[in-house]
Homo-oligomer: A and B are copies of this chain.
Amino acid sequence: MDSEQLIQLGQQLRVDAVRAADAAQSGHPTSSMSAADLAAVLLAGHLHYDFDRPDHPGNDRFILSKGHASPLLYAMYRAAGAVDDEELLTYRRLGSRLEGHPTPRLPWVDVATGSLGQGLPVGVGVALAGKRLDRVPYRVWVLSGDSEMAEGSVWEAVEHAADQRLDNLTLVVDVNRLGQRGPTRHGWDLAAYTRRLRAFGWHTVEVDGHDVEAVDAAFDEARSTTGRPTAVIARTRKGRGVAAVEDQEGRHGKPLEDAGEAIEELGGPRFVRVEVNTPHTGRSAAAPAGGPLELPRYERGDEVATRNAYGEALAALGSARPDVVALDGEVSDSTRAQFFAKEHPDRFFECYIAEQQLVAAAVGMQTRGYVPYASSFAAFLTRAHDFVRMAAVSRAGINVVGSHAGVAIGEDGPSQMGLEDLAMFRAVHGSTVLYPCDANQTAHLVAAMAEGDAQSRGVRYLRTSRGAMPVLYGPDEEFPVGGSKLLRSGDDDRLTLLAAGVTVHEALRAADLLAQDGLPVRVVDLYSVKPVDERAVQAAAEATGCLVTVEDHHPQGGLGDAVAEVFADGRPVPRLVRLAVGNMPGSATEPEQLNASGIDADSIAAAVKLLAEKVVVR
């Protein structure tokens, strides 16, 4: 397309954005209009993409980080012939694929956006896959707003991209100077962005974002720059093209008042279909070669930390499956991801202490078919909560592993203790939450986490422990997701202890103590916290009438709630007792911590005796 055609295409995108928002009577047309010329030049001149084959390994990737500008994205899809005009006008309606913010319900959207500051971090993950795994010359284009440059996650990504010399990544910043509330911090001071990005090692180009020739040249420069990523920093005007809204405050997130007049001002309706460049040559990602899976095997009675079993199992899984990759937040010696790093350095990604980027990179890599395991301390994964939440909206299949769970870590104190992680991961839509108590169980669950495919996508979380614990199970036992293990049972059981991780061992010891006192109790290992083994929980309720959950986690949102939820459909509910970490821990040894929180064997036994005395149990 020549310049005049590009200008006309920009106007077409504006018209369609205005039309879509007008049909919906909601949405963000003015945020779309500022970036329309950038989008036109990208779509017509620089993007390599086959809209009929969104899974083509040689496709470029376009991530609209400013997801509220979805009318622009859908207008681009219409221009490319992927969406017809009828569908365009279903924007934001019930059942439409054209949601208020883009999601992968559309086959050309790899990741959901709308939580600002996520596009670049995820784009870095995709570009890393291109550079270090696929080795296909596709390019990742991220279009971001200027407001979102205030998010720390953006700077984690800027640092990561420069460090990894991702010259296959282009960030386009639509500097329209107006956020939702009013002016941004830097307004039209393009140099403010340039200085920052250059300091981190990026190549930058400042450009008038409405000068299609200049934009075209900037994109050319980005594509030809080697050894570092490029940012195109574009000065634009919000609502460009319609005087009533152009560069005006108070026009964010609203349809135009007079859409018909605006469309006239934009030159009237028109439609030119864009011929998009064909994909790059490339083979499929993650070729399924590899070998048989030989998981580590542990002897019963040995003392092994589940974090160690995680690292060893992941290394073994990496040998069996070339699509498995690992990422860590500069704590791989603690999480034991180092075992994978040592055996598969080409598939290990050090993300340093930047947990948002850690999870974002994993989300990016899974869009290219990889099976990522992202690990840090459970406590520090709270940094990435928004990325985990958005991964669910993205229908992403990622594995997240949190070590150093609970007060059982001992002396380091509460800042290092994962005590909210079960609540956080359970509340994520479609998630799986696993919490093993034993090395063989851990190894099997690590392998099970890789089995998710497009049909069973979701965030899969594994919680591991710092300290060594006795191996309870043989290496050939099976541990299906959604299962449990009945560890103690008898006809006279007075109640059931339900535990996971470290508290399984405490519950077993408590059961021994109680048996000596003539109080037999049942013990269930609920290693699958979500989905929980409903049948086993119900069976225990029917058999013993009272369920006591014991967990190394705050009382809210964890194992106790998972058990209560089994009875949330109106069926009769057994008596429920919850032992959990209700205190604010300090520093102490592991046994002292478990005791202070009332979840060690002695505390469990004492609680059961109290229940027996109060005759709330049979």
Interface residues of A (CB under 8 A from B): 24, 26-27, 67, 92-96, 98-101, 103, 105, 112-117, 147-148, 150-156, 159, 163, 179-181, 184-185, 195-196, 198-200, 328, 330-334, 338, 350, 352-354, 356-357, 379-380, 382-383, 385-386, 389-390, 392-393, 410-416, 419-420, 423-424, 426-430, 530, 546, 554-558, 560-562, 564-565, 567-578, 584, 586-589, 592, 596, 611, 614, 616-617
Closest CB-CB distance, A111 to chain B, in whole Å?
11
Residues of B close to A195: CB separation below 8 A: 199
* Alpha-carbon distance between A81 and B428 when the two chains are bound, in angstroms: 49
Is A96 a contact partner of B586 (Cβ separation < 8 A)? yes
- The contact sample of 10 A-B pairs, CB cut-off 8 A, is A99-B586, A100-B587, A101-B416, A113-B415, A114-B416, A180-B330, A180-B333, A195-B199, A382-B389, A573-B576
Is B385 a contact partner of A382 (Cβ separation < 8 A)? yes
Residues of B close to A148: CB separation below 8 A: 353
Residue in chain B with minimal CB distance to A357: B152
Is A556 a contact partner of B587 (Cβ separation < 8 A)? no
Closest CB-CB distance, A498 to chain B, in whole Å?
12
Is B586 a contact partner of A415 (Cβ separation < 8 A)? no
* Alpha-carbon distance between A150 and B331 when the two chains are bound, in angstroms: 13
* Alpha-carbon distance between A152 and B592 when the two chains are bound, in angstroms: 35
Residues of B close to A154: CB separation below 8 A: 152
Is B115 a contact partner of A380 (Cβ separation < 8 A)? yes
Is A429 a contact partner of B198 (Cβ separation < 8 A)? no
For A24, A199, A562, the residue with the greatest tally of chain B CB atoms inside 10 Å of its CB is A199
Contact among B423, B562, B592 for A426, CB-based, below 8 A: B423
Is B573 a contact partner of A573 (Cβ separation < 8 A)? yes
Residue in chain B with minimal CB distance to A588: B94
Residue in chain B with minimal CB distance to A27: B411
Closest CB-CB distance, A421 to chain B, in whole Å?
9
Contact among B112, B380, B568, B587 for A94, CB-based, below 8 A: B587
CB contact under 8 A between A352 and B150, given known A114-B415, A570-B575, A587-B100: yes
Is B383 a contact partner of A427 (Cβ separation < 8 A)? no
* Alpha-carbon distance between A415 and B122 when the two chains are bound, in angstroms: 15
Residue in chain B with minimal CB distance to A549: B568
Q: How many copies does the complex hold?
A: 2
Is A153 a contact partner of B150 (Cβ separation < 8 A)? no
Residues of B close to A572: CB separation below 8 A: 575
CB contact under 8 A between A26 and B411, given known A424-B423, A427-B423: yes
Known: A152-B154, A429-B584, A561-B561. 12 other contacts (CB 8 A): A99-B587, A101-B413, A103-B586, A117-B353, A150-B159, A199-B199, A385-B385, A389-B420, A423-B424, A423-B427, A427-B554, A573-B573
For A150, A330, A555, A569, the residue with the greatest tally of chain B CB atoms inside 10 Å of its CB is A150
CB contact under 8 A between A427 and B115, given known A179-B353, A570-B576: no
* Alpha-carbon distance between A92 and B587 when the two chains are bound, in angstroms: 5
Residue in chain B with minimal CB distance to A568: B578
Residues of B close to A199: CB separation below 8 A: 195-196, 198-200
Is B93 a contact partner of A587 (Cβ separation < 8 A)? yes
Is B586 a contact partner of A333 (Cβ separation < 8 A)? no
* Alpha-carbon distance between A596 and B429 when the two chains are bound, in angstroms: 15
CB contact under 8 A between A112 and B330, given known A94-B586, A152-B156, A427-B420: no
Residue in chain B with minimal CB distance to A530: B556
Closest CB-CB distance, A614 to chain B, in whole Å?
7
Closest CB-CB distance, A346 to chain B, in whole Å?
18
Closest CB-CB distance, A532 to chain B, in whole Å?
11
For A147, A185, A350, A427, the residue with the greatest tally of chain B CB atoms inside 10 Å of its CB is A427
Closest CB-CB distance, A276 to chain B, in whole Å?
26
Is A568 a contact partner of B557 (Cβ separation < 8 A)? no
